[in-house]
Amino acid sequence: MNLRTDYKHTLIAGYISFITQAIVNNFAPLLFVTFQRDWEVSLSQLAFISTYNFVIQLATDLVAARYADKIGVRKCIVGAHIFAATGLAGLGVFPFILPDPYIGIIIAITFYAVGGGLIEVLTSPIIEACPTENKESHMSLLHSFYCWGQMCAVLFSTLFFYFFDIANWRVMAFIWAMIPAVNAFYFALVPIVTVSQSDKGVQKTSELFKNKLFYILLVMMLCAGASELSVAQWASAFAEESLGISKTAGDILGPCLFAALMGIARVAYSKFSHKINLEKYILFCAVLCVFGYLLTALSPLPVLSLIGCGICGYAVGIMWPGTYSIAAKSWYNPSTALFAMFALAGDTGCSTGPLLLGTVSQYFGDNLKTGVLAGTAFPFVMIFAVIALLRYNKKTEEK
């Protein structure tokens, strides 16, 4: 494969970028209990860490929607990985050199959140524009690498903490920073074609706001992000604090189980997408997600709560990439701005979901199970959004 002309290299670089995105979103939450113990970070401050990460990603989405195509997709995606590498490495530096460690954490998150936001906005349209067949399959497979990245982040970090002690967690931060640093060089060389270059004519952003479908899909993206991150961001702390199991077991059985089943769901759909009605499958998964949330929150047995986490992982697997695929096929040759709009909605959900869970938990005496129960609202709304989508499609077909 020629590095500069073969789009298989572009696909691989895209997969690695989603692994980077997973590390950015899931490494710090593994340290929540450590931050709380060593630096007396409160539960509300821990909730703000997740929220702030996605708020910065959200703000980055807004800027990228306007300027990414003007600056150049390649420059932006390379810069995204440099920001991510700086933030991950900075997590192991800034808290130790500033008077307030929490401020150091926030500064590091600012860097890697900008990188994560750009990765989310740019990678999907880069892969969508590659000259490949079966776009839905490639999109689902791309997003499955987020899951494998999440598993790697959790599993390797947990094993490192077990063998080398959690006190040396900053070394792991430096190790993870190497992945986006290397991928920045990779993306500087692989072939890239933007969506707007792939065909004649470009979908105007102004046209989107006149379409009811656009708003339905925005709600679906928001619910997809909130349904996923509400459980994923708190799975480790939930397993430790609410289920009474060790950190090592909690990290592996909580976040890893969630990520593994989410990845399996996305790979399975990439293999059988031609046989499945995407909209109805998302509806089924939204109902399954409600069940998973309720089982996690209401079960008196730790093992059943962990199974509930796993069910949630499988159920949310298709929501984000599936909504992207519906959007991509609903408009002709959409610009990067379209993907940025949906990334914006998804990141809004990613920020509000964990915040709601953490806030409700703190209000009820740091009871994370009550917070998970409140999070059931998001897959419930997803159900109604998909029903609205099916009705919209039916009316469109009748015209």
**Contact present, 319 and 220 (Cβ < 8 Å):** yes
At 17 the pLDDT is 96
> In this predicted structure, what is the pLDDT of residue 151?
87
Q: What is the mean pLDDT of each run of 10 residues along the chain (399 residues)?
A: 83 95 87 86 81 84 80 92 97 93 95 93 86 78 90 87 90 96 96 62 63 91 91 68 66 77 91 86 96 89 81 93 85 69 84 83 81 92 96 82
Q: What is the pLDDT of residue 200?
A: 44
Neighbours of 144 (CB within 10 A): 23
Q: What is the pLDDT of residue 247?
A: 64
pLDDT of residue 48: 83
As assigned by CATH, the class of the 7-398 domain is mainly alpha
- The span from the CA of 99 to the CA of 102, in Å, is 9
What pLDDT is stored for residue 111 in this prediction?
97
Q: Where are the domains of the chain?
A: 7-398
For the segment 13-71, what is each residue's pLDDT rounded down to a tens digit? 999 999 999 999 889 888 888 888 888 888 778 878 877 887 898 888 888 877 887 88
The CA-atom distances, in angstroms, between 198 and each of 68, 132, 334 are: 17, 11, 10
pLDDT of residue 331: 72
The pLDDT value given to residue 202: 52
Render 280-313 in DSSP notation, one character per residue: HHHHHHHHHHHHHHHHHHH-SSHHHHHHHHHHHH
The pLDDT value given to residue 83 = 97
Comparing CA positions, the residue from 115, 106, 120, 54 lying closest to residue 351 is 54
